[in-house]
Amino acid sequence: MAIGILIQASLAGQIITGHHWLVTSHRILAEFLPLPAAALVVVAWQVRDKLRDGMAMVTSLAVAFALLMAQTGLGFIERKSPAAIAIHVPLGVALLGLYTAVAVMTRKSPGARVAGVDLHENESMAATATS
């Protein structure tokens, strides 16, 4: 998610500097990003008991999803409202920080797995090798 939001920021920066043809790419990605964001909330809910601070992760992802939906809505009205763009830009920065924090929280959670791979396997092996 953080990478998707970073790409959005890059596209927005290009649009602001005059590359208006990137508006379509920015909008398509904006319409797509809520899908994986919603999936993250569902998956976090399903595995909340297996993660340290599982409910905090679910809550963080649910808040991030709600903010992302607001961000998407602001993006569609920003051309008509200077106030909307004044919120749209810093909200994007906040979302990048929030999704990055969730990624770090996931990485630090015992038993965290990505695609069936134990994220802490190398740490366990290193601890065993040094003892």
Residue written as token pair 């106030």: 83
pLDDT digits (tens), the chain, 131 positions:
999 999 999 998 898 898 888 989 999 999 999 999 999 999 999 988 888 788 999 999 999 999 999 999 998 887 778 888 889 989 999 999 999 999 988 877 666 565 455 545 555 544 554 55
Predicted TM-score (pTM) of the model is: 0.78
Residue 118 lies in a domain: no
Residue 128 lies in a domain: no
Do residues 120 and 30 lie in contact, with contact meaning Cβ atoms separated by under 8 Å? no
Closest CA relative to residue 90, chosen from 34, 4, 12, 3: 12
Residue 43 lies in a domain: yes
Residue 124 lies in a domain: no
| Residues of the domain holding 78 | 2-112
How many domains would you assign to the chain?
1
